[in-house]
């Protein structure tokens, strides 16, 4: 019989060994790149690592302090009483992956949130260190929505285990396509490196696709799933070359502030914070939706494909 202490012990095991796992995975990938592909790591790699270290220190302290106290409190006021067993874990898993999908979608569709998330996408190369590249300002933000899990009656320890496993898998899916890409049979069950490489690509056909980080099912359900059709080009529609640590953290905020200052209407000033990246009053030609639609029209794709490439 699996007892609550068993879950606690498993979480303690994950928390203890996860940092070693991340370091080992990154080291293995670096060694393979160096020995097999003769690739020496660039400034961007060290920006990724430095960003990851700072983010982990800040977020590990503040998020742990915040959620370690909040989740048990929310759980004490849960809507349903559920037994701590496999069914609860399954419910927690589907809730966790759905919230992850939904919040990831919002990070791409709301300009202010994109200012935080774009740090991750500004990497022009894809490797395991890219998973460490996050905004040092994104302390809680949409993670607050995960309180729905304990509110529904799922024990907080289940969330903390799922969160840890997601971070472990997240390191793997950021591996370089030179080392691992498509894993055909596994792609029906889990997100693979090849599927997440598409998410990081700025090719028009790949923009805002494959939001899932653990399972691909929500992408398939909501028509945001894409399969590889061409080699991925990493970065964003605006970032094509390596940028430094501080520039990666703040350049999108600067761009947002510039847009806000240059428009007179108060309504449009407010809209800039909440409309999709690339939106301007009366001009949507820089949004991912328009870029994909124009791309499909230029290729004269059939309507069924055009619908898949638009939202």
Let me know whether 81 and 210 are in one domain.
yes
Let me know whether 172 and 271 are in one domain.
no
Tell me, what's the pLDDT at 210? 97
Tell me, what's the pLDDT at 310? 40
What CA–CA distance (Å, rounded) separates 245 from 154?
38
What CA–CA distance (Å, rounded) separates 171 from 131?
6
Give the Å distances, CA to CA, from 70 to 14, 139, 272. Answer: 21, 15, 32
Tell me, what's the pLDDT at 52? 87
Is the residue at 237 inside a domain?
no
Is the residue at 28 inside a domain?
yes
CA–CA–CA angle 290, 296, 297 (5° rounding): 90
What CA–CA distance (Å, rounded) separates 41 from 33?
9
Let me know whether 164 and 295 are in one domain.
no
Query: Beta-carbon neighbour count of residue 157 at 10 Å?
Result: 21
The last residue of one of the domains, among 197, 221, 245, is 221
Tell me, what's the pLDDT at 63? 73
Tell me, what's the pLDDT at 174? 95
In sequence order, the β-bridge partners of residue 234 are: 201
Tell me, what's the pLDDT at 184? 85
- Stretches where the chain sits below pLDDT 50 are 303-311
Tell me, what's the pLDDT at 233? 95
Domain hosting residue 22, numbered range: 4-221
Let me know whether 154 and 97 are in one domain.
yes
Tell me, what's the pLDDT at 309? 43
Number of structural domains in the chain: 2
Is the residue at 68 inside a domain?
yes
Q: What are phi and psi of 272, to 5 degrees?
A: -55, -30
Let me know whether 181 and 287 are in one domain.
no
pTM to 2 decimals?
0.91
């Amino acid at each position: 019989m699996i007892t609550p202490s068993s879950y606690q012990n498993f979480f303690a095991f994950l928390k203890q060994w996860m940092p070693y796992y991340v370091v080992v995975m990154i080291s293995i990938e670096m060694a393979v790149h160096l020995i097999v592909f003769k690739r020496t790591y660039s400034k961007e790699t060290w920006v990724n690592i430095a960003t990851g270290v700072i983010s982990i220190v800040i977020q590990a302290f503040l998020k742990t302090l915040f959620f370690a106290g909040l989740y048990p409190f929310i759980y004490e006021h849960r809507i349903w009483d559920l037994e701590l067993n496999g069914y609860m874990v399954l419910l927690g898993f589907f809730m966790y992956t759905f919230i992850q999908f939904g919040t990831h979608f919002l990070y791409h569709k709301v300009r202010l949130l994109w200012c935080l998330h774009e740090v991750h996408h500004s990497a022009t190369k894809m490797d395991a260190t890219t998973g460490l590249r996050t905004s040092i300002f994104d302390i809680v933000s949409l993670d607050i929505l995960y309180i729905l899990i304990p509110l529904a009656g799922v024990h907080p320890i289940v969330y903390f285990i799922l969160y840890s496993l997601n971070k472990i898998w997240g390191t793997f899916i950021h591996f370089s396509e030179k080392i691992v890409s498509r894993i055909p049979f596994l792609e029906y069950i889990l997100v693979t490196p090849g599927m997440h490489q598409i998410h990081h690509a700025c090719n028009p056909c790949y923009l805002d696709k494959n939001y899932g980080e653990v399972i691909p099912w929500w992408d398939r359900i909501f028509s945001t799933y894409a399969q590889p059709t061409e080699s991925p080009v990493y970065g964003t529609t605006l970032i094509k070359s390596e940028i430094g640590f501080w520039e990666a953290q703040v350049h999108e905020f600067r761009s947002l502030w510039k847009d806000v200052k240059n428009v007179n209407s108060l309504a449009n000033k407010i809209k800039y914070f909440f409309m999709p990246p690339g939106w301007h009053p009366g001009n949507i030609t820089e949004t991912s939706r328009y870029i994909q639609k124009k791309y499909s029209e230029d290729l004269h794709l059939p309507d069924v494909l055009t619908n898949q490439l638009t939202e």
